[in-house]
Structure 1
Amino acid sequence: MNSTAGSEAILRNVLDRWKAAVDAHDPQRAASLFAEDAIFQGLHPYSVGRQSVADYYESQPLGMTAAYRILETRQLADGLVLGYLTVDFSFTDRPTLSVYLSTLVQHATDDWYISHYQVSRLD
């Protein structure tokens, strides 16, 4: 699949499952969408691996939800898709936090996994 539409469909498939896990405050399910050796950069110091991803999402407040919008996608190679997005994290007790997310999803034997995740704020 080399088309932009194909790359977006791959990315959306992974990110819809990520969003559902974040919205449900299910850190283990969110972490299962990441590669075993994923590099993860939220708004805290970076970490590597699924357990660190689970720990990060466990620390997020109950009621936090994510809404994303894909801005750009590129299929960098067979089995490797780059995505650049905006994500609005909404909370029950504070204003929405809007960030940019750059991510790589990589195909492994059985599915697509997030291998790199980097959030940035441009304000």
Structure 2
Amino acid sequence: MSRNTTDSEAILRGVLDRWRAAVDAHEPQHVAACFTEDAIFQGLRPYSVGRQGVVDYYASQPAGMTAAYRIRETRRLADDLVLGYLSVDFSFTDRPTVGVHLGVVVKRTADGWYVSHYQVSRLD
């Protein structure tokens, strides 16, 4: 594994571990704090732009939902941009787990790394 790949995975994990912790704790405001102010967000419903759309999406998710992710591929697009392709399992207390594929672009800002693009797809 190249240093570039290792660095890219570390950057993704830094952002996605914060995201996962907030999802697992059912804290939509903290989930949204992992995103840029102008993030493009596509969950399993129509897309939104900005943090409020992220808040609204995760506020509508049931309490007890948790996320487990696995990084499948990374690409360093520029010094301040990392692309990630992941598998994510969203588990629930009252229904089967939902497996999705997630593409993210994380961007370095003056305050750190944040998700600027989030695109979920289901292949079933």
Pairwise TM-score range, normalised by the shorter structure: over 0.9
| 1:3 alignment partner in structure 2 | 4
Alpha-carbon distance, 1:67 to partner: 0.1
| Identity fraction in percent | 73
Per-residue deviation, 1:6: 0.1
Q: Return 5+ residue gaps in structure 2 as ranges.
A: none
1:20 is aligned to: 21
- Distance (whole Å) between structure 1 residues aligned to residue 79 and residue 5 of structure 2: 13
Find the residue that maps to 1:56 and give its secondary structure. Answer: helix
Task: Tell me the equivalent position of 1:92.
Answer: 93
Instruction: For 1:1-123, list aligned pairs within 5 A.
Output: 3-123=4-124
State the one-letter code of the partner of 1:34: F
SS of match in other structure, 1:62: coil
Alpha-carbon displacement from aligned partner over 1:74-109 (angstroms, at most 9, x marks no partner): 100011000000000000000000000000000000
Deviations 1:21-58 (A, max 9, x none): 00000000000110000000000000000011001000
State TM-score, norm by structure 1: 0.98
Please list every run of 5 or more consecutive structure 1 residues that lacks an aligned counterpart in the other structure.
none
CA RMSD of aligned residues (A): 0.7
Q: Distance in 1 between matches of 2:59 and 2:72?
A: 28
CA distance in 2, matches of 1:56, 1:88: 17
The count of corresponding residues between Structure 1 and Structure 2 is 122
**Scaled by the length of structure 2, what TM-score is found?**
0.97
C-alpha deviation, 1:110, in angstroms: 1.3
Q: Which segments of structure 1 move beyond 6 Å, counting only runs of 4 or more? A: none
